[in-house]
Chains A and B, each alone.
Chain A
Amino acid sequence: MKKLISLLVAFLVIGGLAACSATSEEKADTILIGVNLELTGDVSVYGVPERNAFEQAVSEVNAAGGIDGKLVELVIYDNAYDQAKAVQNTEKLIEDGVVAILGSATSGMTMAIAPLAKENGLVVFTPSGTNSAVTMDGTVVNPYVFRSCFIDPFQGQVLANFASNDLAASKVVIMVNNGSEYSKELARIFTEQLNKNGGQVVETASYADSDTDYKASLTSLASKDFDVLFIADYAKNAGLIIGQARSTAGLETVKIIGPDGFEDPQLNDLAGGAQNVSNVYFSTHFSSLSDNQKVTDFVASYQAFTKAAGKEEPASVFAALAYDAAYMLFAAIDAADSTDPQAIRDSLESLPAFSGVTGDISFDALHNAVKPAFLIELNNGVAVNATIVNP
């Protein structure tokens, strides 16, 4: 084992020097905000629109004179959906002197940096981490973690209310993916809420995550008497189920409802063609179909902003949630009249209801966003209608 040690020393010295030289320059008239996102890797499709929206919000607020006369500057690091990088980025951002951190896009990465946020007294604000544990520190709320999206269980309630009130359904059957926490939790909350509304779950059929043939369960469901089929899953399985249901006798036109997992460009293909995707409804965080002035403005300005940045793209759910998160943070900094991280946290927690592009948002005691959901109706695979369902 008499090895390599001299090289170890050399590298550590280099590392130490690098650390010394990386002193952050304090600029008094800018507000540094950290961004810790999944910009590469498996889930970059979430992170990239969020970064664009953050940048758009910053350029807008700076064009309007900044916050309390100070310009906002983003420090953006990519965590590549890797918790080691997410943690390292957060430590770097703290050294860079940011006043708060926007991100991450996924629940997992946000949970990786949440303990650091608490330890260092810095706000972490996730636009799209929907897992209910994200803002929790064990059994109590983590005082430094916030989110601008609703949590998974909320969708179960919204969908049950939508089925009872808007679709006038009293009997529902549920298809649930046994291998997915998301699916099981949604089915459970949905059932609870539907029973409260006086409805009834006639049957719950479960399947494995890897299943691709649902004919047997669908045929047996077709003989039951029910109004609505609830598929509590992502498009990967739900698309196939929709397609197979449409070719099952008795289920050709039955109303199908689902969670935000349905929002996937591949849904129509998986369902065997857009003609199969009618009478389908799903809940989500945002819809560009809304005729709200704020939404139409954002849809146009986001497209213009990304075009100017070189890669035009339509406003997505992730962009909208990130846009709201950025503005909520700006509002909190503005209200705090300070760039002290602790003051920003206090101000964010007591932020009055914020009117954003995804609806009116306020925080509950667990820092979850209380806000409306959008229910999208799909006809021939195209979103034709968006209904806002308030919490």
Chain B
Amino acid sequence: MKNVLNKRNLITLVIIGVLFFVVQLLIKERIITAYMRSNIYWIGIYIILGLSLNMIIGITGQLSLGHAGFMSIGAFAAAVVLKTNPTLTGLFIGIGIGVLISLAVSFVVAVPTLRLKGDYLAIATLGVAEIIRIVLNNLSVTGGASGISNIKMLMSWPLLYTFVILTIFLTHNFKNSAIGRACISIKEDEIAAEAMGINTTKYKVIAFMFGAALAAMAGSLFSTTYYIVKPDSFGVNTSINILILVVFGGMGSLSGTIIATFIIGLVNIVLQPYAEIRMILYALILIIVMIFRPQGLLGSQELSTKLLPNFKWKRKEKSS
């Protein structure tokens, strides 16, 4: 791993760049319409949410049901800042504030609950998300129950793409770092991990805070994409929707989450004209996938450029 600019990384960079310009061109030529674009925004934001939750559930094996709560922190932080400073700078300040508050709140939740083994975190996070929602409901700076409307729309393909790639980069590196490996060992067997000298509480807290911070970032992007934020957009249902992406794609698989988000985004597009039937079909699709792929679409595998044929560089490259 000495050479950061090895061939495989170069291929990845090229793909990232090409994808960006292809989509940018399609948008410019209006082949991707405004409607498709807003669906791409949805997919991008939910990729960030899914990946961030995957850090907690898929990598570390701790069930969190309060992800929408951390998302709402970021959403309202950005909305409040954007009301006074409707520029990209304002958005970045909002993201920063949201991430910091989210880190603080997740730390307060994680330290006591993650000392315990078992599913305490699920209940605690469920409660925390409700607390956050009720606080937002009663806070005058966030507009109370009706929330904040007329938020400046700053979302664009370059902005979205930057944050999605940043998230993929961060989560991928987290997963493959020493911390990530420690987290995976906690998921596999907490007692064995402890016996190997891993401070399980510490790594669980780190993974939880990391996920919460990314969720806040996604929340900020959400508020600048959809014009309004209101506390009841971030209820248990939203948390469950994010959880679905992770389970559907395969716990622990980053590429699985991304593919799952694309598929669910496409399913939403296809089912859009069928109001009531949509919920049934949507549930049916999930059930069928879960019957045939109980481990999720990709299980814990990853799709990567490693799977591409190695052409002639194969001989030169000894290690990756």
Contact = CB atoms under 8 A, between A and B. Distances in A.
A114 interface: yes
B180 to A, nearest CB: 13
Nearest to B263: A11
Contact of B233 (A16, A83, A107, A179): A83
Given A108-B230, A112-B227, A16 B8 contact: no
B310 interface: no
Contacts of A85: 268
Interface stretch (A2-10, A60-68, A246-254, A291-299): A2-10
A15 B275 contact: no
A87 B229 CA distance: 13
Interface centre among A18, A42, A84, A181, by most chain B C-beta atoms within 10 angstroms, is A84
Interface in B153-205: 153, 165, 168-169, 172-173
Interface in B257-293: 258-259, 262, 266, 268-269, 272-273, 275-276, 278-279
Interface residues of B, number: 64
A16 B225 CA distance: 21
A2 B306 contact: yes
Contact of B227 (A2, A8, A92, A115): A115
A151 interface: no
Contacts of B153: 115
Contacts of A108: 146-147, 149, 228, 230
B34 A40 contact: no
Contact of A3 (B40, B230, B303): B303
B230 A138 contact: no
Given A42-B232, A115-B153, A11 B304 contact: no
B33 interface: yes
Contacts of B42: 84, 88
Interface in A1-28: 1-9, 11-12, 14-16, 18-20
A40 B275 contact: yes
A354 interface: no
Task: List the 7 closest pairs (A to B, CB-CB), nearest first.
Answer: A78-B275, A4-B255, A2-B305, A91-B35, A111-B149, A2-B12, A5-B15
A5 B34 contact: no
Interface string A153-181: 00000000000000000000000000111
A192 interface: no
A15 B19 contact: no
B145 interface: yes
Contacts of A87: 38, 225-227
Interface of B: 8-9, 11-12, 15-16, 19, 22-23, 26, 31-40, 42, 137-138, 144-147, 149-150, 153, 165, 168-169, 172-173, 222, 225-230, 232-233, 254-255, 258-259, 262, 266, 268-269, 272-273, 275-276, 278-279, 302-306, 308
B79 to A, nearest CB: 12
Contacts of A14: 266
B205 to A, nearest CB: 25
A interface, by DSSP: helix, strand, loop or mixed?
A: helix
Given A7-B259, A131-B146, A83 B226 contact: yes
Interface in A318-340: none
A181 B259 contact: no
Contacts of A138: 150
B12 A181 contact: no
Contacts of A2: 8-9, 11-12, 304-306
B303 A7 contact: yes
B21 to A, nearest CB: 12
Interface of A: 1-9, 11-12, 14-16, 18-20, 39-40, 42, 76-78, 82-89, 91-92, 94-95, 107-108, 111-116, 131, 133, 137-138, 179-182
A1 B168 contact: yes
A77 B275 contact: yes
Given A1-B168, A5-B19, A7-B259, A15 B305 contact: no
5 contacts: A2-B305, A3-B168, A138-B150, A179-B137, A180-B145
Chain B binding surface SS class: helix
Given A3-B305, A115-B150, A19 B227 contact: no
B171 to A, nearest CB: 9
Contact of B275 (A19, A39, A83): A39
B272 A77 contact: yes
Given A15-B32, A78-B278, A91-B38, A1 B172 contact: yes
Nearest to A115: B227
Given A7-B303, A11-B262, A112-B228, A19 B145 contact: no
Contacts of B8: 2
A15 B39 contact: yes
Given A2-B304, A16-B36, A9 B227 contact: no
A222 to B, nearest CB: 29
Given A15-B266, A77-B275, A4 B31 contact: no
Contact of B12 (A1, A11, A16, A78): A1
Given A3-B303, A7-B303, A9-B19, A40 B276 contact: yes
B23 A88 contact: no
A181 B136 CA distance: 13
A246 B306 CA distance: 75
A181 B31 CA distance: 44
Contacts of A12: 19, 22-23, 26, 40
A13 to B, nearest CB: 9
Contact of A5 (B12, B146, B173): B12
Nearest to A18: B269
A91 B35 CA distance: 5
Contacts of B227: 83, 87, 111-116
A40 B304 contact: no
- Among A4, A78, A85, residue most surrounded by chain B Cβ atoms (within 10 Å): A4
